[in-house]
């Protein structure tokens, strides 16, 4: 696949920046002319990934979150969200629906399940004490 365009930016793990990440990504993806439902799906998945960083990667501090978006020929978009937080000891367990390391009264444990339901592919890699990388791919309808 030939890359057509790419954007990369880093922001602080503050809850207000979740909206910024979604808006910035939507502005970048406008060049691919996605459908409204596709854009909503991607923004929801990104929201979940960024919120996971804010809540779980940096539970007691503020740290950097980096988002990279790449558009490829044929309408494929790949979004990578990376943190340098606490990491995930058992990625397979963390990806199980209803599993959360947060307060179960506040968190449903559905973040990864939501990402998987809205994107074509989700890959998570993590190292405890070093951070996590979530890579999500979606093929956009071409017009």
4-40 residue pLDDT tens: 999 999 999 999 999 999 999 999 999 999 999 999 9
Q: Which residues are catalytic?
A: 48, 52, 107
Spatial separation of the C-alpha atoms in residues 78 and 135, rounded to whole Å:
7
Domains of the chain and CATH, by start: 3-139 (3.30.565.10)
Residues composing the chain = 143
Q: What is the pTM of this model?
A: 0.86
């Amino acid at each position: 696949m030939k890359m057509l365009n790419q954007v990369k930016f880093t922001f602080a793990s503050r809850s207000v920046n979740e909206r910024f990440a979604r808006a910035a990504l939507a502005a970048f993806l406008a060049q691919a002319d996605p459908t409204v439902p596709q854009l909503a799906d991607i923004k929801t998945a990104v929201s979940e990934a960024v919120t996971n960083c804010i809540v779980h990667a940096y539970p007691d501090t503020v740290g950097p979150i980096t988002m990279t978006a790449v558009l490829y020929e044929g309408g494929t978009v790949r979004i990578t969200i990376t943190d340098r937080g606490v990491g995930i000891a058992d990625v397979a367990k963390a990806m199980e629906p209803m599993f959360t390391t947060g307060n179960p009264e506040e968190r449903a444990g559905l973040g990864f399940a939501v990402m998987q339901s809205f994107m074509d592919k989700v890959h998570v890699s993590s190292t405890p004490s070093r951070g996590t990388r979530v890579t999500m791919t979606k093929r956009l309808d071409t017009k």
